[in-house]
Structure 1
Amino acid sequence: MIMLGLLTPTKYSRCVGQFFGRFKQTNRHRSFLSSGQSDEYIRSFITENTETAGEQSLTPEIKLRLFTPNCRFWRERPELWPFDDPYWAIYWPGGQALSRFLLDTPEVCQDKKVLDLGSGCGASAIAAKLSGAAHVVANDIDSVAAVATHMNCELNGLAPPICLTNNMIGSEPEGFDLILLGDMFYDEAIATSLHSWLDLCIKTHGTAVLIGDPGRAQFEGHGIRRLLRRLAQFELPESVREENYGLTCSSVWHYHPELYLN
Structure 2
Amino acid sequence: MKISLLSAVLLFVAVFFSSVDTFANKSVAGSQGHVKNSAIVGSYNCTMSLMGWPVNQGIITFDASGKVSISGNEFEYVINGKNNLSLRDISGSYNYEYSIDGDKLVMNYSDGTVFSCQKKNNIAPGRSVPQTPNSESSRSAGGEYSNQTNWQLQGSFCTWSGSSGGGSSYSSSKNITFDGRGAWQMTSSSAYSGGGLAYQSSPVNSGSYRVQGQMIYYTTSSGEQGTARVNMQQSDGRITEIYIGGELYSPSLCQ
TM-score range relative to shorter protein: under 0.3
TM-score by length of 2: 0.22
Identify the structure with the greater strand proportion.
2
- The higher radius of gyration belongs to 2
TM-score by length of 1: 0.22
